[in-house]
Chain A
Amino acid sequence: MPRVRRARYVCFFFDDFPFFDLEQLLQGSVEPIAVRQVYALSVLTGQAVALDADEFDLVSTTPADDWVEPADAEQARELALRGVLLSDEDDAELAALRARHESLEELGWKLEAALYYFLSKWQGLDLRELAGQDPASDLLPPDDEAVQAFVDLLGMPPPAFEPVAASARVRELPFVEREGGLYDVLLRRRTTRSFDAATPLGLEELSVVLEYVFGYHGYAPLFGEVATLKRTSPSAGGFHPVDAYPLVTNVDGLEPGLYRYDGRDHAVELVAPLEAGEARRTAATFVCGQTYFADAHVSIVLAARFDRAFWKYRNHPKALTAVLMDAAHLSQTLYLVATELGLGAYVTAAINNVDIEERLGLDGYRRGVLAVCGVGKPAAEPSPFDPQFVPLPRRAQ
């Protein structure tokens, strides 16, 4: 008989929801009740699994550190297929779940971090479909009626600026004007949602972006082969576990396709060639149908090497935060370099992580996708999605 043990990457929670008393319902009457349902949240399947009392009893009495023969083999197998138990049965699906669990344990994924990361991944989500639009066309902005309905439902947001308490001691600071160089770039930095498809991005422009955002510029041996690296963005421990995978759509002298950027030797490695139209469709899939981003000449997938990050920060409560911050730093540096070059840039967390990982051949556990950013030639006309910023009135000095 196959043996089982409880998966460690599971947590439990309760949900209350409205239903009707079943016994009454079957006899023709309606008695409203609230159901108190216990769920197991499985990192292995990324699913919330509702458990009945017997299932919960089986799970809670099954050890996590020892393989045992279950009293109810059928029930145990069902729970294993749903990622709550592990089974040693010789079955491809169950073996895949075991392998995922082994990866999580081996890499030192912290349970809370794994729950957040794996349950917030998206697959096959398209904002055009959600908005009731044609999924083969460009994403359109919502009309005023839709925005009003949103505000009516949720009320007004909290104020943009936190009011100063009347009793607070306030020291007004001088405005020090700085111009040119970095300061000029900082003030011009913005998200671009309208790219010029008629003009390809120059290979040298892409080369500058990759070198100064994702390239390595220094190396400090610490102990034997252990070294800390230097990029133009900070990274926890100098580990720089975030890699760049350019999806080239429209670059002069570089065929469309998926690439991996080698930041040490400043080269791109072709992962999969794509036709130009296919490259754009792939980019749109990656960013959940945000076609204004898919039009960028190059989209760049930011993917973490969790095995490298967690080598040092194993089972660490801040490890995932540090990795996510690395991706955020890189995207801001991309904006600055792009702005300095007169290019447009974007970054988005609204991505189909699972689809991207499948295309790039990443397992999602050792290597997983965090965000997608992009760069390209901005179009003359802004996107209807672009906010039109005006200078903020300053207090009198």
Chain B
Amino acid sequence: MAKRYEVRSSISRHTAEELINRLANDETFRKRFEANPRTVLFEHRIDVTPESLPEKVTLPPADKIKELLPVATALVDETASPFGFLLLFIVFGAMPVVTVARPAGDAAG
């Protein structure tokens, strides 16, 4: 019987961005992830059953993650996000424009 892969996820856009960024750029975080994958994923609101994890977790190279991030980004229409995706601030002598990457209350991260 094939091994069943079970995961419960309530990861938010913000948390996903943060996780990808650290997987791509933070070597200490990557080592901790490989050593304690279930704990780290749970901290990011992803609950993987122990049986679903491989015996040894080996992350793909950081460069590979960086390289394929644009491919993932292209799968969705960022402009259609209800959260927006930019951090802008500017004052033109009138009402300041503040567009945040997510609502102040995106607590799911």
Chain A positions near chain B (C-beta within 8 angstroms):
13, 15-20, 22-23, 25-30, 32-35, 37, 39, 42, 45-55, 82, 119, 122-123, 125, 127, 130-131, 139, 141-142, 146-147, 150, 153, 191, 193, 288, 290, 348-350, 383, 385-387
Contact = CB atoms under 8 A, between A and B. Distances in A.
B105 to A, nearest CB: 3
A385 B93 contact: yes
Contacts of A290: 91, 96
B69 to A, nearest CB: 7
B76 A28 contact: no
Nearest to A47: B105
Nearest to B87: A130
Given A20-B20, A130-B98, A48 B53 contact: no
Nearest to B73: A18
A18 B75 contact: yes
Interface in B65-98: 65, 68-69, 71-77, 80-83, 86, 88-98
Interface of B: 5, 7-13, 15-17, 20, 23, 37, 41, 45-48, 52-54, 57-60, 64-65, 68-69, 71-77, 80-83, 86, 88-98, 102-108
A37 B12 CA distance: 7
A312 B73 CA distance: 49
Contact of A32 (B9, B68, B108): B68
Contact of B89 (A33, A52, A130): A130
A147 B93 CA distance: 12
B16 to A, nearest CB: 5
A147 B9 contact: no
Contacts of A141: 91, 93
17 contacts: A18-B16, A22-B48, A23-B5, A32-B68, A32-B69, A32-B71, A34-B76, A37-B11, A37-B12, A48-B83, A48-B107, A123-B104, A141-B93, A142-B91, A290-B91, A290-B96, A348-B95
Contacts of B76: 16-18, 34
Contacts of A119: 103, 105
B81 A15 contact: yes
Candidate in B8, B45, B96, B108 with the most chain A CB atoms within 10 angstroms:
B96
